[in-house]
Amino acid sequence: MSVQVFDPSVLSAPAKDLAPVRKRLYIETQGCQMNAYDSSRMADLLGESHGYVLTQNPAEADVLVMNTCSIREKAQEKVFSELGRWRKLKEKNPHVVIGVGGCVASQEGEALQQRAPYVDMVFGPQTLHRLPHLLNQHHAQHYQGAKKISLVDISFPDIEKFDFLPEPRVEGPKAFVSIMEGCSKYCSFCVVPYTRGEEVSRPLDDVIAEIASLGARGVREVTLLGQNVNGYRGETHEGQVCNFAQLLRLVVQIPGIGRVRYTTSHPLEFSDELIAAYADLPQLVSHLHLPVQSGSNAVLAAMKRNHTIDVYIEKIKKLRAVRPDLHLSSDFIIGFPAEGDAEFEETLQLVKDLDFDHSYSFIYSKRPGTPAAELPDATPESVKKERLNQLKQVIRASTIAKTDAMLGQTLRVLIEKPNDREPGMLLASADNTRLVQFVGPQDWLGRFATVEVTRICSMNLVEAKVIAVEGISALSD
């Protein structure tokens, strides 16, 4: 152990050099919004337990954490190439601690440390709350010569993690709230049920308390998160079950909360009760991300999505009947084993028929351990790439058309932050996720405004004239 000796040179050092040395944490996040949420909770946790402050620079970090994604092979490969860079940092400073969490950690476990022995801690999405404990164990081994035990913890303890996480920090008027973990749908291509475990919903009271606390601290928009979010079935304190539609009706009543989003939902759980909520709750944004994956019934069956295209179309029709201005987005998987030219054409047709606002599309990636990995797949990679390009073009054209159609529209937007690129302007977000810029003072931040779109700047950005700002009685010209 080192002994601290008073160094007289500090008396002549500039004041900033005398600031207490804070330990720094660098977190790299890959993958979905759930991972982004988990990463911010890790930062809260290590800030509270060990006083770590976040840094954007891995070279100055004492602890490096990678929150990984294994949804497609490419994401998984990135983990090891990035870890190779971190290894060099550790070679320079052996006190640096490297942790790997998320879905690759969950899938690989001990094997990850075998492949990358310089990794000190491995933990899964359901054990991230044990990170301070793992870090203490690591320090005990590293500094005090404690017995070396493997620091791999990728178990699935029954949703205990939320009981150990500190109150989330508030950064701006928007916040994410995880309401359920894991997924039990077992689509044949997907690793999530294996890496994040079976579906578990957080108890209703916990979810409501977390959102109430966020609302009290200035949050105006919450995004409810879960891999199968509309499959939420949370227990009430009377031991009953609250479903997703019922939860939404409670969330919109929470003081401060003016807008609610959620992601990602599954078509099978998209109930009539949920559609009815759109008729009654103006706080629910007119945007829905509802992955359909393919426009072909044969492919959907092979994917084990357990519904047909007609079921999906019917639900969207019903929803648009109560919300005519609904913006719809989806995920598509291209080149799944059962997809031939005819099936791909059906996907293209569906995209045109349903008039999607924007969508994400991916080439199918075989994941070890999933049932689809066993399916024969004769389609050449070049054909898949060509199909993906074709689909992306159609999607892009429709996104551009949707943005162009915003010209002249009156929208309710949430004012989020100053626009760093255009001094004097603020940036707000519309229901359909487009950014909206306009001139305005800083004290409008965090308020809802009614604006009229005056110019289309790009596919994702429009300019507007402000008509009214909530809580501001009169606008000067």
Which of 131/333 has CB closer to ligand SAH?
333
Binding partner of residue 364 among ligand SAH, ligand F3S, none, CB under 5 to 8 Å per kind? ligand SAH
Which of 300/462 has CB closer to ligand F3S?
300
Which of 113/370 has CB closer to ligand F3S?
370
**Residue range at the interface with ligand SAH (CB under 6 A); choices 86-94, 185-193, 345-353, 396-404:** 185-193
Q: How far is the CB of 368 from ligand SAH (least distance, A)?
A: 10
Residue of 59, 186, 235, 470 interacting with ligand F3S (CB under 6 A): 186
Other Cβ atoms less than 10 A from the Cβ of 47: the count is 17
Look at the block and give the residue holding tokens 């759980």.
Answer: 269
Task: Report the candidate in 189, 112, 114, 216 with the shortest Cα–Cα distance to residue 154.
Answer: 112
> How far, in Å, CA of 393 to CA of 52, rounded?
45
Which of 137/227 has CB closer to ligand SAH?
227
x-or-dash string of contact with ligand SAH, 211-230, rule CB under 6 A: ----------------xx--
When asked if residue 72 is in the footprint of ligand SAH (CB under 6 A), the reply is yes
Whether the bond between 403 and the residue before it is cis, its omega within 30 degrees of 0, is no
> How far, in Å, CA of 351 to CA of 357, rounded?
10
What is the residue-wise DSSP string for 51-90? --EE-S-GGG-SEEEEEE--SSHHHHHHHHHHHHHHHHHH
Binding partner of residue 186 among ligand F3S, ligand SAH, none, CB under 5 to 8 Å per kind? ligand F3S
SS3 per-residue string spanning 167-222: CCCCCCCEEEEECEECCCCCCCCCCHHHHCCCCEECCHHHHHHHHHHHHHCCCCEE
When asked if residue 361 is in the footprint of ligand F3S (CB under 6 A), the reply is no
When asked if residue 338 is in the footprint of ligand SAH (CB under 6 A), the reply is no
Buried b (16+ CB within 10 A) or exposed e, 118-137: bbbbbbbbbbbbbbbbbbeb
**Residue range at the interface with ligand SAH (CB under 6 A); choices 253-261, 359-367, 415-423, 469-477:** 359-367
Q: How far is CA 74 from the centre of its chain?
A: 18
Q: What is the DSSP letter of 433?
A: S
Tokens representing residue 199 in the block:
């579906």
Angle, CA of 221, 227 and 232, to the nearest 5°: 75
Say if CB 111 and CB 76 are below 8 A apart. no
Q: How far is the CB of 366 from ligand F3S (least distance, A)?
A: 15
When asked if residue 228 is in the footprint of ligand F3S (CB under 6 A), the reply is yes
Binding partner of residue 434 among ligand F3S, ligand SAH, none, CB under 5 to 8 Å per kind? none
Q: How far is the CB of 224 from ligand F3S (least distance, A)?
A: 15
> How far, in Å, CA of 452 to CA of 26, rounded?
41
**Residue range at the interface with ligand SAH (CB under 6 A); choices 123-131, 188-196, 425-433, 444-452:** 188-196
When asked if residue 270 is in the footprint of ligand SAH (CB under 6 A), the reply is no
Say if CB 235 and CB 164 are below 8 A apart. no
Binding partner of residue 261 among ligand SAH, ligand F3S, none, CB under 5 to 8 Å per kind? none
Binding residues for ligand F3S restricted to 187-206, rule: CB under 6 A: 187, 190, 192-193
- Residues contributing to the site for ligand F3S (CB under 6 A): 183, 185-187, 190, 192-193, 227-228, 266
- Residues contributing to the site for ligand SAH (CB under 6 A): 71-72, 183, 189-190, 192, 227-228, 264, 266, 291, 293, 331, 333, 362, 364-365, 367
